[in-house]
Amino acid sequence: MLRFFLSRLALLIPTFIGVSIVAFAFIRLLPGDPIMLLAGERGMSEERYQQLQSLYGFDQPLFVQYFHYMTDLLQGDFGTSIVTKRPVLQEFLTLFPATLELSLSAIILAIAIGVPVGVIAAVKRGSWLDQTVMGAALVGYSMPIFWWGLLLIILFSGILGWTPVSGRISLLYFFPPVTGFMLIDSLLSGQPGAFKSAVSHLILPTIVLATIPLAVIARQTRSAMLEVLGEDYVRTARSKGLPPRRVIGLHALRNALIPVVTTIGLQVGVLLAGAILTETIFSWPGIGKWMVDSVFKRDYAVVQGGLLLIAAIIMIVNLIVDVLYGLINPRIRH
Amino acid sequence: MTSTNTKDPNAAVGLEGGTVIAVSRRARLAEFWYYFSQNRGAVIGLYVFIAIVLIAIFAPVLAPHSPTMQNRGFFLLPPVWEEGGNWSFILGTDAVGRDVLSRLIYGARFSLFIGVVVVSVAVSVGILIGLIAGYFRGAVDTVIMRVMDIILAFPSLLLALVLVAILGPGLVNAMIAIALVQQPHYVRLTRAAVMSEKGRDYVTAARVAGAGNIRLMFKTILPNCTAPLIVQAALSFSAAILDAAALGFLGMGAQPPTPEWGTMLAEAREFILRAWWVVTFPGLAILITVLAINLMGDGLRDALDPKLKRS
């Protein structure tokens, strides 16, 4: 098992180097001079220009620059934001819990609904229930989520007035972040109503972000179940006289879940891409909104560092999924 | 169809005559249509898609107004069935008095154009690279696949967003970015298909008969790898429309006053609680188009994937 893990980890290294080259090249590929881009609209004196150029090392050969860049990276230095002057890694770590909280609640919602719904659709194959569920899943899969979010805001915030339009918690509440997860922090703060406020802020973004993964998981669970239900061991279990619930839950579902786990793992990239749109619509202070804002503010140091950090997260999650897959499906380990 | 048709693998091996091929091709088409039409959703999707294509082609005839003309005195006019609606602006007007319906009709042109261009670029580049990787294997393959891994390590929308930031906002740059982000899928599919076909007898036979690498790649192997590629093309056609609309929504795709559906949504965002129609209809147009294409994609998969056909 350890060997399997290490071999997968070793495969990541060239990819990570490639990703770092992409992020490194990014700021140098932008049209115009990187120093002038860093300076923004203000411009600067010739003296200051020379000073910055040697500070950032742009006057050195490319491979020397890349070497310095990598040494900095390995020491945890992902650059400094031009707008806030704070280290990119520090900003990332402040904002990441917000995205993590949103993504986790979205994927939990997607699994909690998608897997049972997919199983039911497979068991009742061809019924009106199956057709309705799969129709809904296809609509969800085709959904432009930025529009879906706006519709939900119109309905639940505008017409019904049930949920707030944006943010993570009402401005009435203030407490220092302990875990960075608003749900937990609001409970820890002990302020009455804080938890409820945090939940009501989280609901709509969660639904929006969960939509596409939910549809994908439901479809994948259904087709995996259909495949498994036709297998001999399921027929054997049935003919032994086991109750259908036990056959479906134990014999079929356990084997059907193997491809579903991979699907869920693949949704991480989808979630982070979705977070860009969802966070923008709901002004959710996470890394998706941070990246979009930085692109617009031309804070290229943040874009560069953020790109690398986000890719690293996706790669690590994919590694975990790979290992999990090996754990539940021993056949592929060798 | 003549007997010198070399696109057919059977003809390349020289086993069958012209008439047999013509019949078998027609039979295959009939079989394809049989399985495709078994899927009711796919047929509906096809009809809706044809309707959207017709709307796009005949936009100047169908649209009651110019998509960019601003009608003074008709700002944020509600749709005709709402109080204060007006029959000359059936779906209402936007914040500067442009007819929403006309903009939607013209918007169909942009969405289909985006889908066609992105898929053609991604397919042709992806197939070429995938063929090279799968056919030659070795170091070339390793390098190509690592590069594809790198592209796939980024969330596609984020990478497209950053690419557009480099190239400059606009529809063409958005299409280039989306095509670049999508082509690794074609590379992987083509490579896998080529690798499984390469060892087959008909390829060996063609090689023994003296076919060169280029001929083997494009004329012998490629025609037998098309089924998964067609399904993927349908899926990425809809993904391209969604991504381009998302970039438009973020202000990085088509620029105002282009009546692109995502861009329309971005412009409408600030009126979301005052004028529901300027937000609702463009998104509905995106959803219907994408849904129709995905329905068709499901039907194509059913008709082309022999593994699912039997079950």
The mean pLDDT of A26-31, rounded to a whole number, is 72
Residue A226, chain B, CB below 8 Å: the answer is yes
Residue B283 to residue A292, Cβ atoms within 8 A? no
A152 touches chain B (CB under 8 A): no
Q: What tens digit of pLDDT does each residue of B293-306 get? A: 999 988 888 788 75
Q: What is the pLDDT of residue B187?
A: 93
The confidence score (pLDDT) of residue A217 equals 93
Choose the mutation target among A295, A296, A313, A316 for the interface with B, i.e. most B CBs under 10 Å: A295
Q: What number is the average pLDDT over the span A34-52?
A: 70
Please tell me the distance in Å from B224's CA to the nearest CA on chain A.
26
So what's the pLDDT on residue B309? 47
Instruction: Give CA A65 to chain center in angstroms.
Output: 31
Q: Count the neighbouring beta carbons within 10 Å of the beta carbon of residue B26.
A: 11
The verdict on ipTM greater than 0.90 is no
A292 in B contact zone (CB under 8 Å): yes
With CB atoms and an 8 Å threshold, state whether A146 touches B265.
yes
B21 phi, psi to nearest 5 deg: -65, -45
- 0.90 surpassed by pTM: no
CB contact under 8 A, B250 and A29: no
pLDDT the model gives residue B18 = 55
When pLDDT is cut at 50, 70 and 90, the band that residue B93 belongs to is confident
The CA-atom distances, in angstroms, between A320 and each of A19, A205, A324, A332, B156 are 19, 26, 6, 15, 20
Q: Comparing A4 with B98, which gets the higher pLDDT?
A: B98
pLDDT at B5 over 60: no
Predicted confidence (pLDDT) at residue A112 exceeds the cutoff of 90: yes
Give B260-282 pLDDT, tens digit per residue: 999 999 988 888 888 888 889 99
Average pLDDT over residues A168-193: 80
Q: Please, what is the average pLDDT of chain A?
A: 84
Q: What percent of chain B has pLDDT over 90?
A: 33
Residues of A in contact with B49 (CB under 8 A): none
Q: Which residues in chain B (49-88) have CB-CB distances under 8 A to chain A?
A: none
At A217-272, the pLDDT tens digits run 999 999 888 888 888 888 888 888 888 877 787 778 888 888 888 788 778 778 88
Flag whether pLDDT at B14 surpasses 60.
Answer: no
How would you label A244-257 residue by residue, b for 16+ Cβ within 10 Å and e otherwise? eeebbeebbbebbb
Query: Is residue B98 over pLDDT 50?
Result: yes
Amino acid symbol at A109: L
Which of B181, B166, B175 is CA-nearest to residue A303?
Answer: B166
Q: Which residue has the higher pLDDT, B22 or A268?
A: A268
> Could you give the dihedral angle defined by the CA atoms of residues B277, B283, B285 and B290, in that order, rounded to the nearest 10 degrees?
-170
Q: Which of A147, A158, A310 sits opposite B283 (nearest CB)?
A: A147
Question: At which residue do the structure tokens 């989520």 appear?
Answer: A145
pLDDT, residue B91, reads 85
